[in-house]
Amino acid sequence: MPANLMSKSKMKQLAEEASGIGEKGGDARVKEVTNRLLYRLMQVIDECDVSMEEFWAGVGFLAQTAKNNEFGLLVPGVALEHFLDLRLDEAEKKAGISGGTLRTIEGPLYVAGAPLSKGEARMDDGTDPGEPFVIEGQVRGEDGNIIPGAIVDIWHANSKGGYSFIDGEQAAYNLRRRIETDAKGRYLARSIVPNGYGCPPESCTRKAMTLLGRHAERPAHVHFFISAPGYRKLTTQFNFTGDKYLYTDFAFGTREELVVTLERVTDAAAIRNAGFNRPFA
Ligand code: MBD
Ligand code: FE
């Protein structure tokens, strides 16, 4: 039962005052967003009759989240990054733009500056016992034209679900590569099949998920940025058929069109014929 102790007009007035709405100075955009955020926050506090203790516990939780550098993890966990993606989809629909590979979340674990090579790359450093696999594709514009010289920036977790620069166990830029597409717009990567990612055991994000009755796991996935001069940048991922967490991704990144089935290749010649000029060890 909502408490509703405060009148809407009183909350509106407070939020506007706190946001400097009546003042001359400041930044109009910051004022508007702050005002709307504060008004809604006050409404929630009033409707849920949030106590002083609960309020300060919430502030403490956010402070700890900041201390852990975890906001990037919490945001996808509460569906906000996916929500922004869906809004971009809607904007494109309204503008009459359609087709092409679907976007999905970037997530918090991208690192810029991965090694750049032409046409193909090996992404793993050979120390991971994961199963080797090959990713190949062709970059095309919405008009269907192939795009040579596009940059395909790929990053993914190792066979334990950890990312280089984050888990401290891997060499710099392990499983992070940029590949420039060849004359036919193609790229090829050799890597190892990633495991899903789980939020760290002591993380604020995992604690929040537990309080919400949810798990804190992502299905295995491979991230992509694809960019070329004159084109909008695509942020996407793919997942693997049959993954335990495919349809309950805590970060809401799964989209049916982006789920792929691995094709098992056993003979070395077939692997070479797939375009890779180094046979698997
Ligand atoms: C990840 O690897 C990720 O992609 C997201 C969105 C959140 C946490 C870890
Ligand atoms: Fe990820």
Residue 242: which CATH number?
A: 2.60.130.10
Q: Is residue 61 part of a domain?
A: no
Q: Is 156 in the pocket of ligand 1 (CB under 6 A)?
A: no
Ligand 1 pocket test: which of 65, 218, 254 has the largest number of ligand atoms within 8 Å of its C-beta?
A: 218
Q: How many other CB atoms sit within 10 Å of the CB of residue 196?
A: 19
Same domain, 196 and 133: yes
* Best residue among 65, 109, 158, 176 to mutate for probing ligand 1, ranked by most atoms within 8 Å of CB: 109
CA distance 25 to 152: 44
Q: Give the residue, by CA position, lying nearest to ligand 1 atom 5.
A: 107
The range of the structural domain enclosing residue 166 comes to 80-273
Query: Count of CB atoms within 10 A of residue 238's CB?
Result: 20
219 and 133 both lie in a single domain: yes
Residue 212 shares a structural domain with residue 127:
yes
Q: How many domains are there within the chain?
A: 2
Same domain, 91 and 46: no
Q: Given this model, what pLDDT does residue 4 score?
A: 87
Between 111-120, 149-158, 195-204, 268-277, the lowest mean confidence (pLDDT) is in 268-277
Same domain, 21 and 154: no
One domain, residues 129 and 233 = yes
Is the minimum distance from the CB of 155 to ligand 1 under 6 angstroms?
no
Q: Are residues 135 and 6 in the same domain?
A: no
Residue 137 lies in a domain: yes
Identify whether residues 158 and 237 lie together within a single domain.
yes
Overall pTM > 0.80: yes
**Cα–Cα distance, 227 to 144 (Å, whole number):** 15
For 153, the 3-state DSSP assignment is strand
The reply to whether ligand 1 has any atom less than 6 angstroms from the CB of 162 is: no
183 falls within a domain: yes
Query: Do 219 and 93 fall into the same domain?
Result: yes
105 ligand 1 Cβ < 6 A = yes
Is 208's pLDDT higher than 60? yes
Clarify whether residues 127 and 26 are in a common domain: no
Residue 48 has pLDDT above 80, yes or no: yes
- Tell me, yes or no, whether 114 and 25 share the same domain: no
In a domain, 22, yes or no: yes
Taking only the tens place, the pLDDT of each residue in 219-278 is 999 999 999 999 999 999 999 999 999 999 999 999 999 999 999 887 766 665 555 555
In a domain, 74, yes or no: no
CB contact at 8 A, 110 and 239: no
**Nearest CA owner, ligand 1 atom 3:** 107
pLDDT number for residue 281? 37
In a domain, 279, yes or no: no
Residue 280 is predicted with a pLDDT of 42
Closest atom, ligand 1, to C-alpha of 163: 2
Q: Is residue 67 part of a domain?
A: no
Taking CA atoms only, the protein residue closest to ligand 1 atom 1 is: 107
pLDDT digits (tens, 9 = 90+) for 73-100: 999 999 999 999 999 999 999 999 988 9
113 and 173 in a single domain? The answer is yes
Q: Which two tokens stand for residue 99?
A: 């087709």
Instruction: Give the mean pLDDT of 23-37.
Output: 98
43 falls within a domain: yes
